[in-house]
Chain A
Amino acid sequence: MNRLSELFEHHHEALYRYLVRLSGDADVAADAAQEAFVRLLERPSMGTVERAWLFRVGTNYVFELRRTSARRTRLLWGRGERTMADAPRDPHAHVEADERKRVVIAALSRLSDKERIAILMREEGFSHREIAEAVGTTTGSVGTLLARTLERLARETTVDREAL
């Protein structure tokens, strides 16, 4: 197995999922993942830290796009969109799923960048120490940040869901 296959197998699924959730845009996420992998392939192997490195580069790419393009800003978090990978569903399930997705994306978009990165990295299994390094805070305070954000996100997605 060559290095690209190995990296893809170990990291791509989680990185891409994280970037889709972070950006709200599958195309942006694909570009960001590609950028991260290309940069990683240009470097010598970094061992255990390469996962966190990939996520950091992908995250920076997403935010760089947002900073450098006003139009892109409008696209990010604009709305949920159906992708080719979505299987056809019955109309009621489709409407409900789309609405649910819209609610979740809206709730995520109301978080600060730091909160969103932290919560999504936690979802991918990063330790509090790794998350703290990524968002520039201490390990001691990242737990509070995460707990507060989880509580808020749980409340906002649940309330909106019940209002459907």
Chain B
Amino acid sequence: MTTPAPDPLANAHVSVGVILALTDSKAGERSAELDAAQDHVDHCDVCWARRVDVESHSDRVRDALSAIPIPSVSENTFRRHLAAGARRTTPLRRRPAWQAAAAVVILSAAAAASPARHWIQSRIEQSRSETSHSPIRVLTPSPQTTNQSATSISFAPAGAVFIVRFDSVPSAGVLYAEGTTQSEITARVVAGGGAESDALVVLPGELRVRNTALSTANYSVWLPPVVKRLRVIIAGRKSFDGPPPAVVHLRPSR
């Protein structure tokens, strides 16, 4: 009895890996092996069906990945991010007042872009009776801790997550976050040495603290029940992410 000769086509089918390589490559850039595989796929129903499956998987994955939102980053935003990163590695020095002023101007320009523009417009509608008509509210703390009412700012929450973002890792300082039964978020800065040039900037869902590496101020925020999570970002690094209340040391011990 003789053993049947193996079917020459049984092992000739193209693997899914090669089929994907065909899908992902251009006709003119393929190796001779891939050209031969393409020829096989074009004439083999089994491999053609596998190619259809592979392409279907690829399409479905592409569709699935599109469900992850990607925040848009302009070149200007990226340059500011780069500059902030560079400041972290340069010798400590007080940021000149013109830089702080420039930052506010830049933020005002950013406010002209959607969706921040819509959020800010709604805030303006709500606060027409208030003294400030600035699209972004900026608070510079008083150096006198006794006059704390002058260093508080209140605004409506934009969602369940509230971010407090510090530009720089300060020399010292603590952020105290507590709950409140009020419907608005209130933030207060207790000025310390070097904090005179700091500013609080209200953005959608975020409080931006324009501080410097010399800052020593403490900060308090009171969060209404709608805010379920507080996120504290210091110099681009997430330092805290959890439900309030929280005490966050702004200069982590090494």
Contacts and interface: CB of A to CB of B under 8 A. Distances in A.
A159 B23 CA distance: 25
A37 interface: yes
A88 interface: yes
A153 B82 contact: no
B68 A20 contact: yes
A84 B61 contact: no
Contacts of B67: 97, 100-101, 103-104
B69 A101 contact: yes
B116 A84 contact: yes
A127 B25 contact: yes
Interface residues of B, number: 48
B95 interface: no
B58 A37 contact: no
Contacts of A141: 17
B65 A104 contact: yes
23 contacts: A4-B79, A8-B75, A20-B71, A21-B65, A26-B71, A27-B233, A34-B78, A38-B82, A38-B85, A75-B238, A88-B118, A97-B67, A119-B61, A127-B25, A141-B17, A143-B15, A143-B18, A150-B20, A153-B60, A153-B61, A154-B57, A154-B58, A157-B61
Interface of A: 4-5, 8-9, 12-13, 16-17, 20-21, 25-28, 30-31, 33-34, 37-38, 72, 75, 80-88, 97, 100-101, 103-105, 107, 119-120, 122-123, 127-128, 140-148, 150-151, 153-154, 157-158
